Amino acid sequence: MHEDLVVVTGAGGFIAGSLVASLRQQGYKRIRAVDIKPLDHWYQRFDDVENLSLDLNIKENCEKAARNARDVYNLAANMGGMGFIEKNKALCMLSVLINTHMLQAAVKYRVARYFYSSSACVYNGDKQKSFEAPLLREEDAYPALAEDGYGWEKLFSERMCRHFHEDFGLYTRVARFHNVYGPWGTWFGGREKAPAAICRKVIEAKENGKHEIEIWGSGNQTRSFMYIDDCLEGVQKIMNSQILEPINLGSAEAVSINRLVDLVEDIAGVRLNRKYDLDAPQGVNGRNSENTLIQKYLNWEPSIPLREGLEKTYAWIYDQYRARESGRAGVVQEFVTTPHD
């Protein structure tokens, strides 16, 4: 099986780049990695992989990407934290072109298995009004009231996967990721998510001696955060399973944003004055991953403790920050990173 061609889209970014690294380590010999970014902008890039810089909004490019593949992991999307998705709703919805054309190409080339990365942003907003980290079960996506823009696109694309299975026999798998974090993620520039943003802000506050941090919202919002290694393991377990319905892939260790800041301050060994920007984008009040279904199907769920994952993430962002400050690297979207194995 490791001789078959595996295609990973979005491979110039965080999760898909890490998936390519992991597949290589597992001994996959034929990997095709695809991203719209020029190759020297990819976060991780490997010379023994077929690396293609292609815009997957375009159908012909999806055909080039999917040709002769056994498995397709479609993780390409326009993606970012709340600041990005609230201000770029149309751009986020345009990712529907990627999944549509990738599904069509997968059918054309008789791909055996197709993975789609959905999001907890598909869940009904009315079920996320409490700050007490409401547990979201898979059925809570309906009646549909997803996050405007990004979440609606994910929900629509999930259903497309379902109907491509029902109508065209393509084996599709859909995981709803709950906030993923870790080394090799975006950590500045506007698309970063809360854990990376907070690590960066704590590092900056410590380095500039101001000892102050700005927090978006009241800090009482709750979320769970899944470390990248759990995410990668879950993606492959789901791909290898017979699960045909969308399933949560997230940690159930929910914390408030204030608690997240506490943890990063502990790791950094500082205490900072907190300034709350109540007008900043902050998303829903509370959200947690309900993991009964994944436990039932896989007898497994993400379990890496937040503190442990944050220590590794903080250390990586600290190194990146030091590299940037000393002129060794530019903005994350513009520097070439080297493989980490």
Task: Report which of 66, 105, 335 is spatially closest to residue 52, judged by C-alpha positions.
Answer: 66
Indicate which residue of 150, 181, 318, 321 is catalytic: 150
- The minimum distance between CB 92 and ligand NAD, in angstroms, equals 8
Chain positions 98 to 127 lying near ligand NAD, rule: CB under 6 A, are 98, 117, 119
With the CA atoms of 265, 270, 275 and 280 taken in that order, what torsion angle do they form, in degrees rounded to the nearest 10?
A: -30
Contact flags string 20-59 toward ligand NAD, x per CB under 6 A: ---------------xxx-----------------xxx--
Find tokens 């970012």 and name the residue: 80
Q: Please identify, using beta-carbon distances, which residue of 153 and 265 lies nearer to ligand NAD.
A: 153
The residue sitting closest to ligand NAD, measured at its beta carbon, is: 13
Preceding omega of 143 cis (within 30 degrees of 0): yes
State the pairing for strand pair 222-224/254-256: antiparallel
Provide, rounded to whole angstroms, the least separation between the CB of residue 329 and ligand NAD: 17
> Which residues neighbour 262 within 8 Å (Cβ) at sequence distance 6 or greater?
none
Could you say which of 5, 7, 8, 13 contacts ligand NAD (CB under 6 A)?
13
Exposure of 48 by Cβ count < 10 A (0-12 exposed, 13-18 middle, 19+ buried)?
exposed
CB 95 to ligand NAD: min, Å:
7
Residue 277 DSSP one-character state: E
List 14, 73, 114, 164, residue binding ligand NAD (CB under 6 A): 14
Binding status of residue 177 toward ligand NAD by CB under 6 A: yes
- Indicate which single residue of 31, 75, 170, 215 sits in contact with ligand NAD (rule: CB under 6 A): 75
DSSP labels for 278-292? TTS----SB-EE--H
Our CB check for ligand NAD shows the closer of 205 and 250 to be: 250
Do the beta carbons of residue 75 and residue 174 sit within 8 Å?
no
d(CA 321, CA 331): 10
- Minimum CB–partner distance for residue 188 and ligand NAD (Å): 13
109 Rama sector, left if φ>0, alpha if ψ -120 to 50, beta otherwise: alpha
CA 201 to chain centre: 21
Count residues contacting ligand NAD (CB under 6 A)? 25
Query: Which residue of 8, 10, 20, 106 would you call a contact of ligand NAD, by CB under 6 A?
Result: 10
Q: Kindly state whether residue 179 participates in binding ligand NAD, applying the rule CB under 6 A.
A: yes
CB of 76 to ligand NAD, least distance (A): 4
Q: In whole angstroms, how close is the CB of 209 to ligand NAD at the nearest point?
A: 31
Active-site residue flag, 28: no
Task: Give 169: exposed, middle or buried? Use CB within 10 Å, 0-12, 13-18, 19+.
Answer: exposed
Kindly list the catalytic residues.
150
| Site residues (vs ligand NAD, CB under 6 A) | 10, 12-16, 35-37, 55-57, 75-79, 98, 117, 119, 177, 179-180, 186, 193
